[in-house]
Structure 1
Amino acid sequence: MATGNDSQVIELAQIDASMLGLVGGKAAGLGELIKAGFRVPQGFCLTTRAHVTGEIPEGEVLDAYARIGGGRVAVRSSATAEDLPDASFAGQQESFLDVSGASELLNAIRRCWDSLHSDRAVAYREANGVGPDVHMAVVVQRMVDAKAGGVLFTANPLTGTRTDMVVDAVSGSGEAVVDGSAIADHYVLDGTPPRADGCLDRDQLELLREAGAAVQESFGCPQDIEWAIARDGGLWLLQSRAITTLFPLPPETDDLRVYFEMGHMQGMLRPFTPAGMSALTRGAKLWMDSAGLSGGAFGDAMGIVPVGDRLFMDFSDLLRNKRIRSRLPRMMEVYGPRNVEIVRRLLKDPRFAPTTGGLPFPVAPLLKKGLRVLPKAKFEFIRIIAFPAAARERAFRTTEKLKRRAVAPESASTAERLRFAEQVQRDFMTASEVIWPLFIGIVVSQFPNALLKGIATDAELDTVLGGLPHNVTTEMDLALWRLAADLDEPERELLRFTPPAELATRYQAGELPDIGLDDFLSRYGHRAASEVDIGVPRWSEDPTQILSTIAGYLRITDPEQAPDRRFAQAAERAEAMIDELHERARRKRPIRARLARFCMRRARRLTGLRELGKFAWLYSLSSMRAQLLRVGEDLSGQGRLEQAGDVMFLDLDEIRAAVRGTDQRALAVERKSRHTREMRRRAVPIAVLSDGTDLEATGAPEAVADGAMTGLGASPGKVTGRARVVRDPADARLEPGEILVASTTDPGWTPLFMTAAGLVTETGSPMAHGPTVAREYGIPAVICVRNATAEIETGQVITVDATSGTVTPE
């Protein structure tokens, strides 16, 4: 058998992972198994060199076939984009078993080659971002005379638990497990004695467990292993590849911890860049320090723990605290019903039994801070309630001050720019003139719930908060609508029929007519979708999403569907509802009725400010981004980064090390690759244990009646329309009357709300930005609908009923 550099056939025992481009993923994995000493059926690989030429070297193949004894063999595809760390390609290309004889062997090889271009394989590559430059190698191995066979996962692929192994097995060849043609015996190896029925006994299961542990240790990550137990009792490994669907593990800890996903509260389910997570953590530390809360149950940074580059928070100490744990279900209601159900289960879990009884925060500094803040709180409450207009004026004036202070000096060294970026959030964290009125507005908006209990429904009270004035996010959306409405006919034609990305390029080159976009971006250009991550370009850098949204606005022809009209109608309904609720309550409780009306009217004058806090904070985040990009330019010029943008794939400490001389090119490239992989992940667990367990996956399945999907009503109303599933708002267009279905939303998505008839999200909270804006536009919204973007298809007619919290396909 040829073994030189020009060989087209190589023995499996001569292959290792460095030969991936020559032998493909499956053969590389088999070679590594053999190298590590595992039993693998004898065989050879027809390399990608043959596939490139398109000719099977029949002589070499048949000589190799004779050397392994001829007879029955398995012929399996081994593409160069197969069995990779982030994409398994399981079942996308063909395998053929019990192939016998020269003619059948050559035909099977040709069919493996052909399967590279099957519809399913092409679609899978496109979905996983794999380019067209893919080639096929083919593995040929002796068949095992199997008594039993199947698949072993060294971590539980359904729950994510790394301490469990899962075995699916059938009598005879395990191919029936792989292709799903037989009902397999299912075993979970979780440390307890496994059941002894089915096609495997306990000794065989222990043999598989030991082999799985050894293979996982050898490869360094959880593995998906195909295996066969021969009739003589010997275990053979037929394939091993990484389990690519597992959500990444939290950081290693000494005890069992639980983490809840909190990025959805900021409309952020995509992975953070390392710089973005680092900036958020730094801001959290600054706030905790200013509030006197550092060092308690949430540590020094609000309990933030990056998991899979997403924003999670550690709730372990609260669950184990005797004073707090019973209150947790109520506290978690703001995060959605799915979180509440998980907390209730954890309260019964002996692993989270109470172990502490003190307060979850350091008492002395908190008490000292409270004694200082309490008189201030009383003063602010009285003056803001008495003079809301003056409070708003102070808040907006302070916001403009924060905007000016977020501008860095033009002449600064690299180290000075980094230092400015590290400190620029500090001013916002102590901007009380912004924080007090929005906080008091939110508090006052909750008073009518108690005052009108038994008189007003939740939906009616939500209606009171529709069409709120003084909201910077809705003002932004309406400003964009006015921009679109003022366009002349040639401008409308240009924006309606030119791809948004092309328009953005022309705008940045100064080749687009003056449509008012400069003015809009001067006010709102520091925003973007997923804007809490400084690694994400701002609209001022890339206005593609804004131009796409304008094109959507231009397709509105019904005057009643015009966003400004819809907003005004929501405000009219709110004022009418206040009068109606006052009259209804006055008959039974006249004093409460007057007080409730006062609170509702004050809420309408103040609650719109709830968006101002984030709006003001974003000035510092946008400035951080700008300064770090300048730092990146300097570092790339000095050869410490490949390109300026790579600075976003380092955290602040790593950027500081680069400024001091460390070459961070390799680290940034590795982080960028990881970020790209995580960007393709569609599902993010809402709560995980430190052993990787997805807590929602271990719960009882939801009962769904009549095909309805259940969630949480977050904006009142009921609407039926065609769904538009949107995963990235950058180039999305909603036709008027369509229902927006998304994983999550943040203020950067809200321009799409102007044409949406309803909103469905997989995560969220009634208090989060997206549902709040939906209420102000009078758009029915149901949030926390599990798997909505997978279960609902674009164009499908659905009914969104916020009263029942359901989404029903028609």
Structure 2
Amino acid sequence: MDLIELANATDMTLVGGKATGLAALIAAGEKVPAGFVITTRAYQRDELPEAQILHWWATHCGGQPVAVRSSATAEDLDDASFAGLQDTTLGVREPDELLEAIRSCWSSLTSERASAYRERMRPGTPPPMMAVVVQQMVDASVAGVLFTADPLTGLRSRQVVDAVAGLGDAVVQGTVEADHATLDDGQVPQPIGCLRTAHLEELQRAGRRIEAALGSEQDIEFAFDHEGTLWLLQSRAITTLYPLPATDDGQLHVYLEVGHMQGLRNPVTPMGAELLSRAVTAMGGAFSDVLERMMVFAGGRMYLDMTFMFRSDRMRQNLPQLFEIYGSDPRVAEQLMEHPELQARRAPLRARLRAVPLILRLVALAPSTLTGVIRALLQPEWGRRRAFQAPILSDAPHGESLEDVLNAAEQAQDLVMRRGMWQMLPALYGGLAAAALAEFLLRGIAEPGEMDLTKGGMPHNPTTGMDLQLWQLAQRVRAHEDLFADREPEDLASQWRQGALPAIGLEDFLARFGHRCAQEVDAGIARWREDPAPVFAAITGYLQLQDLTQAPDARFARAAAVAESTIDELERRARAQGRTLRGAAAKWLLRRSRRLAGLREWPKFAWVQSIEQGRNYLLELGERLVQRDVLEATEDIFYLELDQARRAVAGESQMEAVASARASYEREMRRVRVPAVLLSDGSTPESTPEMNGATIRGRAAAPGRVTGPARVVTDPRTARVLPGEILVAPTTDPGWTPLFMTAAGLVSETGSPMAHGPTVAREYGIPAVIGITDATHRIATGDMLSIDGTHGTVEILDSSPVGDGA
């Protein structure tokens, strides 16, 4: 079939994206100029059916002037628009001109700009095919583009119009100054330029109507003829809007992105998100319903719904500080506190009654928790032993049925979250409380950054222990350096699996730490035990370190020595100021803190073991579902939610659901900017980063000052940081920390001083600055940086043309 009437153009593989969009408009009852499609079959044969085309032109378009538009199979899609990258020819009047315009569309598919865009947006996908749409031209009095959501702010309640008198191609191409109007829901639009009130009201209605019919916000090309009739020339999804959580109460909600606190900057797999939500609510006990309401996922990222705090007289005053703790800009909280829809209001009686059991739960927990904290401070060894003996993995055997395996995967995290965490936390709280109380006692005595120095080289931290053991592996590799040098991590991992590498102790390392990886709280991510390429990347990076005075174990020991000497100096200074008792108490508290606070990383270290256990169950389930032809690949199980997995277990194919979820996941993986704060109306409030010339102000996270070249890393799995380089990253979690071993400093876009990355940076004694918006885009690999982790500043001393990251 070489030609199809536009109304019947519903097969994407045959007619491409633009044609299917137009057919959908026709099916929805909208007015679309008559036309037809030259299908991809003709393109595949690379031969124009000239006689048929001219016949259809006469029959379907009356031989009138037509527009010839590309309609590739990778065009006008939900995740990539290809706007303007393939050819359109307007006002075609002659037969030869028509045939040449079609050939031009065909050739534009493989143009340099279209190929480059396609590789960026859909890397590695098969080459698309080209269909061509031929439509009657509209004799336009006014034409342009309508967005059914504001593409700049993300506001869903506002439509935006750009239009000119006559044909609208100049608006699309950006070659003229168009008349611009905003259409806010519920407001009567005002005329502007060529756009009369009648035009705007018709567009306002049409936009909402089309959005509802097609199921998403739309980018629509339109034209009004001289009789005032609205014609639709194209409609495609707006590909840049950030997805919103579902709400049904009609109120404005505020969502704070918090996934970066656990190293989640990339989207979480659907199964990973569901298991993560279940684990967090399981830990909450009586608070689980509150956590369940607060925790939402948007675009695969984890957010907290902070709306109830904005509506509370008592809580709202703490919001700027809370935003800062969670790595967001407190100025955004202050701006939102002025929003008329986010003012304090009295909670309904039902909500206040719902809080009663939570209060009772807090009262019941307080004595035992406080007792545990006090005993841990008095007996640190008891506190550590109790934390290390907390239950983590269930040893109860699961049944052999698919239902049993799925249930085991779903419940794998329950034991550690419901019981283990509560056994681990008192010792950790004791260490943190001791440090906080010591800081209070040393006010006016300690200089800026000195309290952070007391946290360097903290013992009993499983993450630093992991990194130091990795350094020991690197030392064993030096005896076989010729086998490891200049080899890609994936190649080394493959050689190791085949037993082609010498023994360096990697098996022992993976036995203890193989459950870890970057973004490790997502069960959908492969563990180091499955893919040790990141471990080899770290090892080969360590081999670049020749100055053993900068070796990780030496740096860690120096940080510990500095911490101890700083504690002694603070006590001496307090005594010199006549505050002997205060200094002695602070010294005791800081020493107790050092014996406990390293446990800060232990709960997550333990939790991730249960995540791996659940992942292994899911891999077993996925493999068995593949054998039953319900899934195509074992890993597909992670692109299902639990209800879908149950349907798969019942024998219902989930291949279509997996394909849709994978497409959404891959689209979000390509997203460059993730809003730190998201409103339910789609807007993403931000504040401008403070800058002074080439100096960017972020947040102090680990004290010290260092100068060195930047190494921008967006994926830690196969990255290397050379000795002396400053790691610039979007976020960090324990899976990133092997890179810290050679890094001279750390700059990250997100984070809190309490998050894993800054904590480990302090323990290694490397300066860290966090909260630098778009750092991985504003800084390039090779830029010479000077970072001040005490005052939270990054200065770009010299920009380098070397590249833009790793």
TM-score with structure 2 length normalisation? Answer: 0.91
Alignment of 1:236-635 (within 5 A): 236-256=231-251, 257-289=253-285, 292-295=286-289, 298-299=290-291, 301=292, 303-338=294-329, 340-356=330-346, 362=354, 364-396=356-388, 398=389, 402=392, 405-407=393-395, 409=397, 412-429=400-417, 430-431=419-420, 432-489=422-479, 491-588=480-577, 589-635=579-625
Distance 2:787 2:239 in 1: 34
Give per-residue Cα distances to partners, 1:369-425, cap 9 Å, x unaligned.
Answer: 4444333334323322222234223323x15x53xx445538744443333333333
Report the secondary structure of 2:287's partner residue.
coil
* Equivalent residue number for residue 748 of structure 1: 735
Query: In the TM superposition, what is the alpha-carbon distance from 1:660 to its structure 2 partner?
Result: 4.9
Matched to 2:736, the amino acid is W
CA contact (8 A) 1:92 1:120 kept: yes
* Equivalent residue number for residue 217 of structure 1: 212
Query: In the TM superposition, what is the alpha-carbon distance from 1:344 to its structure 2 partner?
Result: 2.1
Report the secondary structure of 1:685's partner residue.
coil
Of 687-696 and 103-112, deviating more is 103-112
Q: Does 1:118 align with 2:111?
A: yes
Distance 2:228 2:56 in 1: 28
* Equivalent residue number for residue 774 of structure 2: 787
Q: Does 1:677 align with 2:693?
A: no
Counterparts in 2 of 1:367 and 1:232: CA distance versus 1, 3 Å: closer
Distance 2:622 2:25 in 1: 42
CA contact (8 A) 2:158 2:182 kept: yes
Distance 1:760 1:10 in 2: 56
Give per-residue Cα distances to partners, 1:179-203, cap 9 Å, x unaligned.
Answer: 2223333322113333433332222
Distance 1:534 1:35 in 2: 42
* Equivalent residue number for residue 757 of structure 1: 744
Give per-residue Cα distances to partners, 1:524-579, cap 9 Å, x unaligned.
Answer: 01111111011111111111111122111112223233222222232233233323
Distance 2:95 2:358 in 1: 81
* Equivalent residue number for residue 723 of structure 2: 736
Give per-residue Cα distances to partners, 1:47-96, cap 9 Å, x unaligned.
Answer: 32333233444444445555535575433322110001211111222333
Distance 2:463 2:183 in 1: 51
Distance 1:692 1:704 in 2: 28
Of 535-544 and 384-393, deviating more is 384-393
Query: In the TM superposition, what is the alpha-carbon distance from 1:260 to its structure 2 partner?
Result: 1.6
Distance 2:640 2:258 in 1: 22
Distance 1:581 1:185 in 2: 66
Q: Does 1:182 align with 2:176?
A: yes
Query: In the TM superposition, what is the alpha-carbon distance from 1:255 to its structure 2 partner?
Result: 3.0
Query: In the TM superposition, what is the alpha-carbon distance from 1:135 to its structure 2 partner?
Result: 1.7
CA contact (8 A) 1:71 1:101 kept: no
Distance 1:228 1:118 in 2: 29
Distance 1:371 1:41 in 2: 70
Counterparts in 2 of 1:121 and 1:734: CA distance versus 1, 3 Å: farther
Give per-residue Cα distances to partners, 1:150-208, cap 9 Å, x unaligned.
Answer: 21111122222222211122333322322222333332211333343333222211111
CA contact (8 A) 2:328 2:750 kept: no
CA contact (8 A) 2:189 2:201 kept: no
Distance 2:528 2:629 in 1: 29
Counterparts in 2 of 1:174 and 1:568: CA distance versus 1, 3 Å: farther
Counterparts in 2 of 1:634 and 1:22: CA distance versus 1, 3 Å: closer
CA contact (8 A) 1:408 1:623 kept: no
Distance 1:361 1:807 in 2: 49
CA contact (8 A) 2:492 2:536 kept: yes
Aligned residues: 788
Of 168-177 and 409-418, deviating more is 409-418
Query: In the TM superposition, what is the alpha-carbon distance from 1:628 to its structure 2 partner?
Result: 2.2
Of 591-600 and 77-86, deviating more is 591-600
Gaps of 5+ in 1: none
CA contact (8 A) 1:406 1:619 kept: no
Choose from 37, 44, 54 the match for 2:46: 54
Choose from 142, 149, 152 the match for 1:158: 152
Counterparts in 2 of 1:681 and 1:594: CA distance versus 1, 3 Å: same
Distance 2:621 2:74 in 1: 36
Gaps of 5+ in 2: 799-806
Give per-residue Cα distances to partners, 1:727-774, cap 9 Å, x unaligned.
Answer: 221222222222222221111111111122222222211111111112
Query: In the TM superposition, what is the alpha-carbon distance from 1:268 to its structure 2 partner?
Result: 0.4
Distance 2:586 2:248 in 1: 49
Report the secondary structure of 1:764's partner residue.
coil
Query: In the TM superposition, what is the alpha-carbon distance from 1:665 to its structure 2 partner?
Result: 4.2
Counterparts in 2 of 1:212 and 1:377: CA distance versus 1, 3 Å: closer
Give per-residue Cα distances to partners, 1:670-708, cap 9 Å, x unaligned.
Answer: 333332332222222222223333233xxx544533144
Matched to 1:560, the amino acid is T
Q: Does 1:34 align with 2:30?
A: no
Report the secondary structure of 1:487's partner residue.
helix
Report the secondary structure of 1:730's partner residue.
coil
Counterparts in 2 of 1:286 and 1:125: CA distance versus 1, 3 Å: same
Of 529-538 and 109-118, deviating more is 109-118
Of 107-116 and 125-134, deviating more is 107-116
Choose from 71, 82, 106 the match for 2:75: 82
Report the secondary structure of 2:477's partner residue.
coil
Matched to 1:502, the amino acid is D
Counterparts in 2 of 1:469 and 1:233: CA distance versus 1, 3 Å: same
Counterparts in 2 of 1:734 and 1:62: CA distance versus 1, 3 Å: farther
Matched to 1:249, the amino acid is L
Matched to 1:732, the amino acid is A
CA contact (8 A) 1:473 1:611 kept: yes
CA contact (8 A) 1:438 1:613 kept: no
Choose from 15, 18, 21 the match for 1:23: 15
Query: In the TM superposition, what is the alpha-carbon distance from 1:240 to its structure 2 partner?
Result: 0.8
TM-score with structure 1 length normalisation? Answer: 0.91
* Equivalent residue number for residue 172 of structure 1: 166
CA contact (8 A) 1:337 1:712 kept: no
Distance 1:266 1:217 in 2: 37
Give me the identity figure in percent. 48
CA contact (8 A) 2:34 2:136 kept: yes
Matched to 2:6, the amino acid is L
Distance 2:526 2:637 in 1: 13
Distance 2:647 2:683 in 1: 35
Query: In the TM superposition, what is the alpha-carbon distance from 1:269 to its structure 2 partner?
Result: 2.0
Of 247-256 and 142-151, deviating more is 142-151
Counterparts in 2 of 1:52 and 1:565: CA distance versus 1, 3 Å: same
Matched to 1:529, the amino acid is A
Q: Does 1:93 align with 2:86?
A: yes
Q: Does 1:797 align with 2:784?
A: yes
Query: In the TM superposition, what is the alpha-carbon distance from 1:599 to its structure 2 partner?
Result: 2.2
